[in-house]
Chain A
């Protein structure tokens, strides 16, 4: 049985609504070099639309905050430390939507990498997992903090079965009994 990822609902994320900080520090005021509005408008921000119960609300809103962060990051001036290009933001948003809907994993932190890639991170105590997304590739790196050992997996988005490969790399419990094929929407 094959699975094709479909987002079930889209909604605009209110930046900062669920943040630990009460501030919204990344305004675009004062910018003379913003990404164009038309670039940003092409990005769909995906969040889970699964049946919502109270226990799931917090998780959904935290994933939504990360989606909102991606939107903010591509609107920042190109010379800003947190700027990412809209195409990369779109890829990262799709991948985050897929993860939130299909895996029993908590929302990641998000940081940019050199303006050209997005890095999602999960902290599992001694182990830290990095999922780096750019326009063409996905890298998964597990870093053992005290032993300083790293394990890196490189995945080509356009290659064969990228989602199946990613699922193996992520190695978290799936909330779906279906499999993912290689023609899912990006």
Chain B
């Protein structure tokens, strides 16, 4: 990936809505801890490999389907639309060069190609420990600041409602996806 390449983050409802019911770009950019490691990771897609906005939408719809399949596997039933089901509603993007230029104290920022579940455009952005000593509290603050900076780099959204979600179009279009960067 080159510094000018766009990295896309799918907006999978409701993962970017906080429990108080509002959009939060830092919830959208939640770097989750990988079990058994001190690495924190975020799934993204390469727009170059997706070829177009529609390609990114196909990735997002598939990512939502994978999340819903996990729900079915775990609970033995299908998720209720809107209330439980994950719906892809669009994506935001930022530049690869902006991401890897983020300076952290206790981590190094990486973003690498990691095809999974048949999604060859899937990349993984990671905060990896750089070996510098620090308390858990300092590391937590370091990650918080990095996500805060990355949030300022988001551009979008490019909205999309999939064919499968047509019956819920009105509800899904009512979801607040603010224009970023904020004016």
Which residues of A are interface residues toward B (Cβ below 8 A)? 15-16, 19-27, 29-30, 65-66, 68-70, 72-73, 76, 81-82, 109-111, 113-114, 117, 119, 121, 123, 128, 130, 132, 137, 139, 141, 143, 145-146, 148, 150, 152, 154
- Indicate if the CB atoms of B32 and A81 lie closer than 8 Å: yes
Q: Which of B14, B75, B77, B176 has the most chain A CB within a 10 Å cutoff? A: B14
Residues of B within 8 A of A154 (CB): 137
Q: How far is the CA of A148 from the CA of B98 in the complex (A)?
A: 12
A109 CB contact (under 8 Å) in B22, B33, B79, B84: B22
Q: B52 an interface residue at 8 Å Cβ cutoff?
A: no
Best-surrounded residue of A24, A25, A110, A141 (most CB of chain B within 10 A): A25
Quick one: given A23-B14, A145-B149, are A139 and B141 in contact (CB under 8 Å)?
yes
CA distance A90 to B91 in the complex (A): 35
Of B18, B71, B176, which one neighbours A111 at CB under 8 angstroms? Answer: B18
Residues A130 and B20 in contact, CB atoms below 8 Å apart: no
Partner of A130 from the list B14, B18, B23, B148 (CB cut-off 8 Å) is B148
In the assembled complex, B116 has its CB within 8 A of some CB on chain A: no
Which of A20, A72, A146: most chain B CB closer than 10 A? A20
Distance in angstroms between the alpha carbons of A16 and B20 in the assembled complex: 7
* Other-chain residue from A30, A76, A128 in contact with B148 (beta carbon distance below 8 A): A128
* B141–A20 touching, CB < 8 Å: no
Minimum C-beta distance from B86 to chain A (A): 10
Q: Is the CB of A132 within 8 A of B141?
A: yes
Q: Are B79 and A30 in contact (CB under 8 A)?
A: yes
Establish whether residues B21 and A16, one from each chain, have CB atoms under 8 Å apart when the complex forms: yes
Apart from A128-B148, A143-B148, A150-B145, 6 more pairs, CB < 8 Å: A21-B174, A21-B176, A30-B74, A111-B18, A117-B140, A145-B148
Which of these, B19, B24, B144, B174, contacts A113 with CB under 8 Å? B144
Q: Mark B137-178, 1 if CB is under 8 A from A, else 0.
A: 100110011001100100000000000000000010011100
Contact between chains at A20 and B22 (CB < 8 Å): yes
Question: Once the chains are docked, how many angstroms separate the CA of A25 from the CA of B32?
Answer: 20
Given contacts A23-B171, A111-B26, A132-B141, contact A30 B84 (CB under 8 A): yes
Main secondary structure of the interface of A (DSSP, over half): mixed
Subset of 10 A-B contacts with CB under 8 Å: A20-B176, A21-B175, A22-B171, A23-B17, A23-B83, A24-B83, A25-B82, A27-B84, A148-B103, A152-B141
| Distance between Cα atoms of A69 and B15 in the complex (Å) | 14
Residue from B18, B22, B83, B137 within 8 A of A137 (CB atoms): B137
Given A113-B140, A145-B149, A152-B141, residue A27 in contact with residue B83 (CB < 8 A)? yes
The answer to whether A21 and B141 touch across the interface, beta carbons within 8 angstroms, is no
Is there an interface contact between A139 and B148, defined as CB atoms closer than 8 Å?
A: no
CA distance A146 to B151 in the complex (A): 11
Q: How far is the CB of B82 from chain A (nearest CB, A)?
A: 6
Contact A139 B137 (CB under 8 A): yes
Encode contact with A along B4-36: 1 for CB under 8 Å, 0 otherwise.
000000000111011111111011001011000
Asked whether, in the complex, the Cβ of B20 is within 8 Å of the Cβ of A68, the reply is yes
Q: When chains A and B are docked, how far (Å) is the Cα of A114 from the Cα of B33?
A: 8
* B80 to A, closest residue via Cβ: A29
How far is B27's CA from A120's CA once the two chains are assembled, in angstroms? 12
